[in-house]
């Protein structure tokens, strides 16, 4: 079977018809991983030892479906590194809530995927264990920080995967690898068991081959969790219910700022063709202004380092993780462990965040950034008073070559279209919309708070129009 073409729907049908067993399917994927992962570096660990027979109830849609999990999401009894040397040998002592939910459905876990260290990056080049390569061109990055998850799905090394998205970390690699990446409304899915980067922005979400698959996975992992005070008590709808319904008459906004300086001209043309296709499907398209676009990136990179400096204080070489040996005293153990165990980008953000939160600078930077964050949210709310969704490019360029984004600033600028969504806590999906020189381009569809159904409906209609 062609693993690159398998979807949740097609695997479910094959299992139900007994064309193959779950054990046979798992074996096929494990063999493919063994063959291909040395080239891609998508997986950091593979669950191929002491395999237990797969037993499951046929009723759950995800029963027997092989998936991959980003290595900052805890699975009890497995190594969870967060892409960092400091957690190289850390074994998780409990399941993240999303893992508990997937286990209840009978989902089969293949392994843990590569990521930028502590999810800090756009290319997966910040991983302590080497970059993940793009399945379409091994000289290029897969994207980040969930690069391993996106590459695994694109290369046929998993049917679906989970990633996390703080400023675009699901959508960026999905766009560059040519798969679907869904960032959820903040609070839609529990963050319990996700190694935190920036807690007010982090969200777990699916990376899949199709929009329908994304809706299916979302249904399985969404819902309130008493272990996460930020998770929403809202009822979880059937996200597949409106897929296939006409999108005629829906009003879609296109921010003019998304097509300004910095956007690759060929990417712009590809996305504009996708927008024209949405118009042909009966939607009403208007170009609008999202005036704080130029300020959102700076705001994000003030708030995020501040939260990082607080969240990563726990990695001190004392409680767990890498601990320096033969140091003179406790302080030396602490400082040496962090110096040895943390990578350059992580150190950079910790130092920036500590500076931002220090006396005399908190008001000037952090407090001001939080005020701008409120304004960013309000600017989206204003557009959504009149429109059902916002569309534009996911990334300003196709997947760059390894080392091409050579400075931190170049990496940060690549997030220009994605970070605003996280600042506002909105849902967004990236769907493939074409290619430039053989490399995938993503169309980003942004929705109202807790309105994943609308963006899934639009994304599905667009996806189907491309396959007709």
Instruction: Judge whether 173 and 151 are in contact, CB under 8 Å.
Output: yes
Give which of 169, 188, 180, 166 is closest to 232, Cα–Cα: 188
Residue 229 annotated as catalytic: no
* Chain centroid, CA 333 distance in Å: 34
Query: Which residue among 70, 85, 101, 183 is the active-site one?
Result: 70
Quickly list DSSP for 49-100: SSPPPP---SSSTTTT-EEEEETTB--TTSB--TT-GGGTT-B-SS--HHHH
104 is catalytic: no
Element holding 279 (H helix, E strand)? helix 265-280
CB 412 within 8 A of CB 121: no
Nearest CA among 194, 76, 154 for reference residue 430: 154
Q: Per-residue b/e over 279-311, b at no fewer than 16 CB within 10 Å?
A: eebebeeeebebebbeebbebbbbbbbbbbbbb
> Which entry of 127, 145, 164, 379 is annotated as an active-site residue?
145
Q: Note the residue count of the chain.
A: 468
Structure token pair of residue 363: 């008001």
Please identify which of the residues 146, 149, 169, 309 carries the catalytic annotation. Answer: 169
User: Any idea which residues carry the catalytic annotation?
Assistant: 70, 145, 169
């Amino acid at each position: 079977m062609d693993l690159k073409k398998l979807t949740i729907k097609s695997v479910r049908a094959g299992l139900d018809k007994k064309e193959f067993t779950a054990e046979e399917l798992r074996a096929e994927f494990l063999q493919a991983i063994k063959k291909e992962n040395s080239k891609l570096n998508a997986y950091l660990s593979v669950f191929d030892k002491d395999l237990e027979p797969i037993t499951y109830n046929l009723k759950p849609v995800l029963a027997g479906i092989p998936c991959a999990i980003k290595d900052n999401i805890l699975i009890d009894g497995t190594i969870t590194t967060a892409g960092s040397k400091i957690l190289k040998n850390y074994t998780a002592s409990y399941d993240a809530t999303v893992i508990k939910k997937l286990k209840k459905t009978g989902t089969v876990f293949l392994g843990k995927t590569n990521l930028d260290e502590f999810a800090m990056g756009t290319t997966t080049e910040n991983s302590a264990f080497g970059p993940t390569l793009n399945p379409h061109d091994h000289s290029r990055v897969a994207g980040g920080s969930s690069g391993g998850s996106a590459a695994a799905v694109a290369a046929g090394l998993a049917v679906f995967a989970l990633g996390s998205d703080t400023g675009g970390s699901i959508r960026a690699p999905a766009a560059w690898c040519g798969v679907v990446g869904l960032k959820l409304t903040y609070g839609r899915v529990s963050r319990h068991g996700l190694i935190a980067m920036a807690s007010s922005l982090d969200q777990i979400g699916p990376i899949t081959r199709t929009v329908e698959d994304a809706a299916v996975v979302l249904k399985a992992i969404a819902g309130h969790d008493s272990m996460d005070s930020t998770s929403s008590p809202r009822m979880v709808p059937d996200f597949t219910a409106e897929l296939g319904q006409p999108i005629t008459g829906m009003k879609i906004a296109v921010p003019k700022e998304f097509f300004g300086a910095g956007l690759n001209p060929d990417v712009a043309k590809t996305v504009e063709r996708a927008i024209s296709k949405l118009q042909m499907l009966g939607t009403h398209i208007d170009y609008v202004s999202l005036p704080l676009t130029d300020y959102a990136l700076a705001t994000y990179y003030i708030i995020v380092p501040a939260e990082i400096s607080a969240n990563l204080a726990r990695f001190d070489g004392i409680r767990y993780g890498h601990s320096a040996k033969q140091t003179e005293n406790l302080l030396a153990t602490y400082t040496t462990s962090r110096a040895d165990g943390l990578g350059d980008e992580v150190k950079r953000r910790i130092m920036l965040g500590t500076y931002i939160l220090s006396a005399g600078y908190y008001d000037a930077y952090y407090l001001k950034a939080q005020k701008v964050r409120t304004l960013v949210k309000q600017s989206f709310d204003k557009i959504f008073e009149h429109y059902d969704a916002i569309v534009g490019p996911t990334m300003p360029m196709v997947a760059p070559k390894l080392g091409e984004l050579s400075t931190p600033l170049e990496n940060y600028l690549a997030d220009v279209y994605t970070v605003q969504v996280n600042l506002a806590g909105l849902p967004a999906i990236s769907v493939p919309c074409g290619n430039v020189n053989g490399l995938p381009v993503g169309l980003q569809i942004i929705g109202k708070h807790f309105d994943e159904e609308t963006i899934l409906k639009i994304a599905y209609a667009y996806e189907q129009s491309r396959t007709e």
